[in-house]
Chains A and B, each alone.
Chain A
Amino acid sequence: GAVVSQHPSWVICKSGTSVKIECRSLDFQATTMFWYRQFPKQSLMLMATSNEGSKATYEQGVEKDKFLINHASLTLSTLTVTSAHPEDSSFYICSAMDRALNEQYFGPGTRLTVT
Chain B
Amino acid sequence: SQKIEQNSEALNIQEGKTATLTCNYTNYSPAYLQWYRQDPGRGPVFLLLIRENEKEKRKERLKVTFDTTLKQSLFHITASQPADSATYLCALVRRNTGKLIFGQGTTLQVKP
Contact = CB atoms under 8 A, between A and B. Distances in A.
B13 interface: no
B45 to A, nearest CB: 7
Interface residues of B, number: 18
Consensus secondary structure, chain A interface:
strand
Consensus secondary structure, chain B interface:
loop
A44 B99 contact: no
A93 B43 contact: yes
A6 B42 CA distance: 11
B49 to A, nearest CB: 7
A106 interface: yes
Contacts of A111: 41
Interface string A86-115: 000001010101000011111111010000
A56 interface: no
B89 A109 contact: no
B40 to A, nearest CB: 10
B41 A43 contact: no
Contact of B46 (A49, A103, A107, A109): A103
A75 interface: no
A107 B43 contact: yes
Interface string B3-47: 000000000000000000000000000000000100001111110
9 contacts: A1-B46, A46-B99, A46-B101, A102-B98, A104-B46, A106-B46, A108-B42, A108-B43, A111-B41
Interface of B: 36, 41-46, 49, 89, 97-105
